């Protein structure tokens, strides 16, 4: 999916395309960590603990990155809507 996403460019917006690639990288990293954790023979070993906390960190980082990008997009759209509102108000004031 990562190679396909990089080749096809599903999203017109560059930020969304980069987010899709980042999400695929996070997912791939998580799958590798799950595979590594399943290969350990002892569930109480320090390697299992490190892998578990790394998985939690990867998921938390993915959530944080997605929320940050969504909030940045919401902020930009809010600024555009406010600029449109101001334009409309100034246009109506010039007509009067």
What's the pTM?
A: 0.71
For residue 57, the model assigns a pLDDT of: 93
Share of the chain above pLDDT 90, in %: 43
* Cβ–Cβ < 8 Å for 51, 40: yes
What's the angle, vertex CA 69, arms to CA 58 and CA 50, rounded to 5? 10
Domains of the chain, residue spans: 2-95
Question: Which spans in 1-96 are helix H?
Answer: 2-8, 14-39, 46-95
- Among the listed residues 39, 60, 63, the one whose alpha carbon sits nearest the alpha carbon of residue 51: 39
pLDDT digits (tens, 9 = 90+) for 5-52: 777 777 778 888 888 888 989 999 999 988 888 887 676 778 888 888
Q: What three-state secondary structure class fits 55?
A: helix
Burial 40-79 (b: 16+ CB within 10 A, else e): eeeeeeeebeebeeebeebeeebeeeeeebeeeeeeeeee
Look at residue 44 in the predicted model and tell me its pLDDT. 75
Angle between helices 14-39 and 46-95 (to 10 degrees): 170
């Amino acid at each position: 999916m990562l190679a396909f996403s990089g080749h096809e460019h599903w999203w017109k917006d560059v930020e969304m395309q980069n987010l899709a690639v980042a999400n695929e990288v996070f997912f791939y990293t998580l799958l590798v960590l799950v595979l590594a954790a399943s290969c350990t023979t002892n569930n109480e070993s320090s390697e299992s603990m490190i892998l578990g906390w790394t998985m939690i960190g990867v998921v938390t980082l993915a959530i944080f990155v997605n929320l940050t990008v969504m909030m940045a997009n919401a902020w930009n759209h809010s600024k555009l809507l406010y600029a449109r509102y101001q334009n409309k108000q100034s246009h109506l004031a010039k007509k009067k």
